[in-house]
Structure 1
């Protein structure tokens, strides 16, 4: 297939694109390139790409594609809270706009990177895809609105699928240090302390970034009737953990480290466990390969191999909110997160 991947330059995209290529697909990227240079290890190979804000897509940009995989978003709660109206513009309105353009251009398949964060605050046991939405942040709410907008477009010509990813972790060329497992390992490696920033009790479903990529491949390859207008929790049911359990896994993996609670650490309203049996049942070819313990070891080794320091790990290179604020202070991004000038260090690659 010829596949457009929005956000191809990000944390998930830089892992997914090589998998798509290895499976024989022709990949074109589309990205705003906020995080150019924010790399752990070597830069991933370039692919043909459009340097474009997803808000500015037109149907002409999407002609000739067999599928759109839509990853691009303001990707976490701190960034989502920075300016909530911008979060809704990018994560909801731009998603609906992109889908309308795709449908107009005749793109038959649309794979949307949603999130289990739309379940928000729940103590109702394991949540299936039919569970009520209880978002506690603009980020989580924006994902609900985007799914609903896509569902309104679904018909015999346009087939959306919603992949509700569990909380991601794992090594990626475009590492994010603001994800809980990545963060706990980073502090353990650079300081010797596994720093918990909540009271440790919240539950999270966790999934390795490579297993998220595998889910997109499984949906892309699936017969349309299996995935049309369907939502899937992405991960494994047995990979739900309390944060303190993750901290203990990290402590065991990083010799000499110890668990410490951050000053003022308290309850986190985000608390949910997720049932991932539907994706395994409907798409048996989806075979996630990672556990948290294995991912922690991978991260430890990657951080050590790159001689990561606390200063670098907690810098704008790996923390999305810091990077965006840095670009704004430099006068490169405006309040709506649009480029004031084209970032000079990124060349535009034409598809």
Structure 2
């Protein structure tokens, strides 16, 4: 409980710092006018600090132009049902978000009648497929916060449903948008021959080990390495999980997930033209800019294929754990996930 509490305090502070907001309650003013149609944002899930942080950024009276003029106008609070650390946040966040100009509604259907685009923020990835289907059927573009689901199978089904209903969707951790990670992705050190990434990987019994929080560091690793991982091996060392992926051409990417919420986030890329450390985490703002661009264009900045492979990597890590760290084929995990996802009615 102490670890979870410290993590929530840290992320809450990081959220406010990342969007450039003061902690002083009188320091922020919010636009009172309603946004024009096309710019109205709805939030599903008030069980995460992201919901408040994102709303404070979008709804600030002096919101930056690169946030696209989008304003959060309505929210459906639920939200996790049985994860105590999330459920217990809902009443407080519901109270805090209303003065920001947000109407609270009693169903996703009611929300969808009032908004143009959606932030699916529910902290519990097990609910995302069910909730996303309502959004897809209404034809609303949606960003799904991490984790996109609590299983590889559901992740595949979500993207299949988005394709079926022809609705733009993407999902990402904000760690993808660390300044140096983007520089590496854009070729700063040439072709990446290997990379290391790390993040907290605290556990939640309802989610596979890395899906709950380790996804932050895994997303960092994939930002650096790209797709193409072939095999995954996982070992446990005191206080941490270490996952080693072998990519095409024998390139090696590693993820270290620490059990302490105090470890921070980061990594290092080894390229043909240099080595680059990731530096410090820069907060949520770069992700929000990408979300605004996505709402404008309907073009996802992260492909479905990459997000699905991230979840296959984490699933393969779990499989490797079960067989004492032996290598697991990522393609075999993907093939099995696709077969099972095909059985889900969407």
TM-score by length of 1: 0.39
If asked which structure has higher relative contact order (CA below 8 Å, sep 6+), I would say 1
